[in-house]
Structure formats: structure tokens, C-alpha cells
Amino acid sequence: MPASVSTVAVYLSSLVQKSVSESVLSTNFYSIKWHHDISLCANPCDSKILHLLMEGGKRILSKPINKKEPITPEILKKIVDKYGQDANKNNLSHVRICSMFLLGFSGFLRFSELSKLKVKNISFHELHMSVHIEGSKTDVYRRGNNVLIARTSKDTCPVYWLKLYLDLAGISKSPEDFIFRSIRYFKSSDSYKLCSCNRPISYTRARELLRDALASVGLDTKCFGLHSLRSGGATSAAENNVSDRLLKLHGRWKSDLSRDNYIKDSTSNQLSVTKKLNI
């Protein structure tokens, strides 16, 4: 220590020659940089040569991004029609599916935000509910954000379904309980109940639930992921002319670029550009 610029350059070049992914290249570079920073010694990663090498490596290794499709209100309506029938409203498993997906969609929630929600983070009001996000990817100082979600008169009202889920799960009086967590089926009573272990639902299990729900309404599950809920909510709001400022506030985005990455413009909106060129 410290490593020389030439040594780091040779190492990074070898990674490029091995055709590692762009993320692996970046991880190695910033790991070396971090190790030198905490050692309080001269950092070779500050060299302009290495930055140029990284830029060239990223261009060589970069590949097209295959983004997941956004989930639409129509898809959510199909899921609610299937899982939220009157006969299923005492089925905790089905109610969890409806409430979790509708909340993720309407609140533009990342899975990390959705899974870490506790009872104390939810407050119900006459016309809406307030969801307090204690910490998120962009909230590095953990100041928290409040997301307001309106009550609607539709079958897909996220406030109705979350209230039903909390009542059915019996956790509305336990402020530290995670809202979405594992459930168990009891054959003797033919019913589902929350597991006593207070741990949030895993990413893998939540993804399985989403895929199963999408498959049950005839959709290709490969086209969607848990982030499709967040991008779907943002896309739907943008298509209905919600202002950029409110979109950014509701989705807790730091920049316009990060917000726009979540929004998929419809074909008609894209065609409107050339239609207004007067040619």
C-alpha cells in the first residue's frame, strides 16, 4: 500500500479482457478506491488515466438494458377480480396479495420500502392514508418521507385493501410489527395466519407471489418484476398528466433523470411529437 496506478490499470484491463459485467468492473474499481481512502494514503483511483480506462471499459462491456414492463391499472384490476372476490375476503393469503401490490403501485414503493413498513408507519384518515417511509435509497440521512394515498371508490382502492388486511391479520394494534411477512396455512381450520416471527417478507417470496398472480391472469411473468409496481404507478400517473413536481415528490426521486427512467411513454404519446410538427 498504496498500489501504483500501473498495477491497478493492469488489473482493471484484465477484467475487461475477461468480459466481466460492467457492474463487476465498477465494484472492483470502487473497492480499491474505498480501501485506499480508509487507509488515508495516496489513492491511485484518483488518477485521470484510471478514470479514462474505466470509461473505456464500460463502453466495451455495456449491454442493452432489458427493462421490465410496468404493471398497469388494468392488470391490477384483473388480479383483484381474481383474488379479491367476496368469497376470498376472509382469506389472508389472497388479501395480502391485493393489498401488497396495490400499495406498492399507488405509493411508487421500492421493494425495500414496502417490505420494511411497520404498523406504526401507517395512519388512516377520512379521505386518505399516510405511509411514512422511514428510510430509502435516496434518503441517506434517514429523514423519512410521508406518502399520501387517497381513498377511491373503486374495487382497487389501496386504502380499503390495506385496512382489510391489517384487520384480518390482527396486527393493527402492534406498532412494531412488520406489515407484510410470512403466513402459514392451518389445515384444521382451513385458514391462513401470520407467523409469530416478526420478520419482513423476503424478496424471493414477494417475487413468487407477483409471478403467480400474473400467471393466474394469463400474463408472461418474464416481462415483469417487483419494480414493475413502482414503474407502473409512475407511468400511470404521467399518462394522466400529474405534474412533474408531484410525481417527483410522490416517488421520492432526487433527479428528473431517475424519475424518467421509471416512466414508459405510450405509443400515442410518442407519436404526438411528430403529429405536432405541422408536416
What does each of the 279 residues of the chain score in pLDDT, given as a tens digit? 789 999 999 999 999 999 999 999 999 999 999 999 998 889 999 999 999 999 999 999 988 778 889 999 999 999 999 998 876 788 999 999 999 999 999 999 999 999 999 999 999 999 999 999 987 666 554 567 889 999 998 999 999 999 999 999 888 677 889 999 999 888 888 888 888 888 999 999 999 999 999 999 999 999 999 999 999 999 999 898 888 888 888 988 888 777 878 788 778 778 777 777 767
Instruction: Identify the pLDDT of residue 143.
Output: 64
Instruction: Identify the pLDDT of residue 141.
Output: 47
CA 23/CA 277 separation, integer angstroms = 40
* Vertex 40: Cα angle to 39 and 44 (nearest 5): 90
Angle between helices 5-17 and 48-61 (to 10 degrees): 0
Question: Which residue spans within 181-235 are E strands per DSSP?
Answer: 183-186, 191-194
DSSP annotation of 118 reads B
Cis peptide before 2 (omega within 30 of 0): yes
What predicted TM-score, i.e. pTM, was given to this entire model? 0.79
Q: Give the residue extent of every domain in the chain.
A: 5-61, 73-256
**Cell 408531484, located at residue:** 246
Instruction: Identify the pLDDT of residue 19.
Output: 92
- The domain covering 73-256 belongs, at the CATH homologous superfamily level, to Intergrase catalytic core (1.10.443.10)
